[in-house]
Structure formats: structure tokens, C-alpha cells
Amino acid sequence: DYVIKETPEGIIVENKKAGLIVKAPEGWEAKKIELREGWVMFYSPETEIKWKEEGVVLLPLEKGCIIDTEVMYNKMDLIQIKSDIKYSLSPLILEFIEFENITINNHEALRTTFDTQKVGPGIIVNIPWNDKVYIFNLTFGADEKEKCIQEFNKFLETLSIK
């Protein structure tokens, strides 16, 4: 579903089926992950990725930032998404979880900030729209939290959902 284009403005990723366009942070790489439909991973140049198996990154990250994007073709509201996130993170032994309703490009979204014993810290932003949920997941090395969050926020500003 995704097309990764190198342009003079940087790397642009488009999913026509889902109506999604995003721009990779400057200097970052983009890679399609074939394990799930419409899954693309963006990562900063200093990211040290250890692969558990093809497409599955061994977490927590020691260094760098990763943003995963995915589209789930399922109609859900913010309450259902919140419940699903609690359920999916609970086996990872939650240390901290916080939910915040936000707006991204005129779309209601849920921002989840968490820390777990097994995979470390991260942020998930879910945007339900029509019969889809757009998912953006940030993972980062502990020493690069602020820089990665700043890049993630800029990344979210570039996204377009039609």
C-alpha cells in the first residue's frame, strides 16, 4: 500500500488506499515492514537497530529513534482504542501510562505516553477516521528522549489524511 519517494524536500511516504501522506524527519530513513499491512518504519541515522527477526526490532532501543506507522482497517472510537492499548501494553509490565486527547490536522486523536519493563518507553498516537485507525508509534533510546519527541511532533505536523 505504501510508496516511498525520494524528493528534493526529503522522503515522502504515501498510502493512496488509506489516504495518508507523511514526510520522514530530515536525514531519516524509511523502510517497509512486510509483517503487517501498511507498516512503515522511519529511523534516525544514529539508531542502532537489533533485529529479533526480519521486521521485528528488539526493544528497548539503546540509541536513536524509530517511528512506526500503520493503518488498521477497523472502525473504532477513542474509548475503544484506549481500552485496546491498555490491554496490549499490560503484558509488558506497565511502569507508567498516560492518555491525552489531542487534535492533529483537525482530526481527534489519542496520545498515549508509556513506559514498560520489557520494551522501555514510548509514545503512541492513534487517529480514528471513518473506518480506519492511523497509528504512529515512537520508540527511543533513553538518552535521546527529548530529541526524539521533538522529531516525532514535527513528523505528526507533516501528516495528511484525506
Write the pLDDT tens digit of every residue in 22-47.
999 999 999 888 766 668 999 999 99
148: phi then psi, degrees, rounded to nearest 5? -65, -40
Instruction: Give the largest Cα separation in the chain, rounded.
Output: 43
pLDDT of residue 37: 64
Cell 520489557 sits on residue:
118
CB proximity list for 39: less than 8 A, separation 6 or greater: 32, 33, 55, 68, 69, 70
Q: Is the pLDDT of residue 150 over 90?
A: yes
pLDDT of residue 44: 96
Write the pLDDT tens digit of every residue in 52-73.
776 678 888 989 999 999 999 9
CB proximity list for 80: less than 8 A, separation 6 or greater: none
User: Strand, helix or coil at 108?
Assistant: strand
